[in-house]
Chains A and B, each alone.
Chain A
Amino acid sequence: NFMLTQPHSVSESPGKTVTISCTGSSGSIASNYVQWYQQRPGSAPTTVIYEDNQRPSGVPDRFSGSIDSSSNSASLTISGLKTEDEADYYCQSYDSSNRGVFGGGTKLTVL
C-alpha cells in the first residue's frame, strides 16, 4: 500500500525557515498532486498548499510547496516563522487506485 512518511516533529525559532518533508513509499510522488494541511489544536484542518505548490487565498507567501522526484518527496517550507504557525501539518496525495492517502502528520513547534 502507498504510504506518505513525515517526520513526527520539527522545531525552529521565530523568524527562521523550516522545511517539512513527505516521502512516498513507492511509485512516483509526482504522479499525483500533493496537498498540505495545517491543523491547530481543537480546530478543523485548513489547506495551506494544494496541487503541489499553489496557495489558497489568504495563505501568506511564507508558505511554499515543492516536489523532488529524485527523492520521491514533497516539501512544505515555511519562512519567517511566526508563533501562530505552530500546528500539526499533514501532506496528502493519492495512491494508484485514486484513493486518498495522508501522511502521519508533523508537529511544528515554534520556540
Chain B
Amino acid sequence: EVQLVESGGGLVQPGGSLRLSCAASGFTFSSYSMHWVRQAPGKGLEWVSYISSSSSTIYYADSVKGRFTVSRDNAKNSLYLQMNSLRDEDTAVYYCAPTRVVSGNKDVWGQGTTVTVSS
C-alpha cells in the first residue's frame, strides 16, 4: 500500500521553530520529486515548497522563502520541512505529496500534520 505519513506538527510561539517529517512507504520514494502544501483554517490549498528526487532542485513560495528549508533522506524514505521564524499566518495543516502519481498510476497524499503558531 502506498502511504505518506506526516508528523512533527504542534503548537509553537511566534518566532519559534518546528521540523515536519513525511515518511513514505509502498513506492520508490527516491524516484519522485515532492511537494509540501498547506491549508490554513477555512482557506484553500497553498503550495509551499518543491524538492527534486535527488535534492538538486528546490523551490519555495515567496511567503516562506528564507524561513523554511526542505530536505529529504532517500535512504530513510523521508521528507522534511524545517520551519523557522514562524508567524501566525503559518498556522495550517501541512501535507506532503509527490509531484505526480506513483508507479501503478496511484495517487498518494499524506493525512496532514497541524501547525499552530500562537502565543
Q: A44-B112, A98-B59, A99-B61 are in contact. Are A56 and B46 (CB under 8 A)?
A: no
Cα–Cα distance between A90 and B44 once the two chains are bound (Å): 8
B contact residues, total (Cβ < 8 Å): 22
A97 within 8 A of B: yes
- Do B109 and A100 touch across chains, with their CB atoms under 8 A apart? no
B49 to chain A, nearest CB (A): 9
- Do A37 and B50 touch across chains, with their CB atoms under 8 A apart? no
B111 within 8 A of A: yes
- Do A51 and B45 touch across chains, with their CB atoms under 8 A apart? no
Residues of B near A44 (CB, < 8 A) are: 95, 109-112
A70 within 8 A of B: no
- Do A97 and B104 touch across chains, with their CB atoms under 8 A apart? no
B60 to chain A, nearest CB (A): 8
Binds B, one of A13-21, A78-86, A101-109: A101-109
Residues of B near A59 (CB, < 8 A) are: 107
- Do B45 and A90 touch across chains, with their CB atoms under 8 A apart? yes
Cα–Cα distance between A103 and B37 once the two chains are bound (Å): 13
Cα–Cα distance between A62 and B107 once the two chains are bound (Å): 17
Interface residues, chain A, CB within 8 Å of chain B?
Answer: 37, 39, 44-47, 50-51, 54, 56-59, 88, 90, 92, 97-105
27 A-B pairs within 8 Å (CB atoms) are namely A39-B45, A44-B95, A44-B109, A45-B109, A46-B107, A50-B100, A50-B101, A50-B107, A56-B106, A57-B105, A57-B107, A90-B44, A92-B47, A98-B59, A99-B50, A99-B61, A100-B35, A100-B37, A100-B47, A100-B59, A100-B61, A102-B37, A102-B44, A102-B45, A102-B46, A102-B47, A103-B44
Interface residues, chain B, CB within 8 Å of chain A?
Answer: 35, 37, 44-47, 50, 59-61, 95, 97, 100-101, 104-107, 109-112
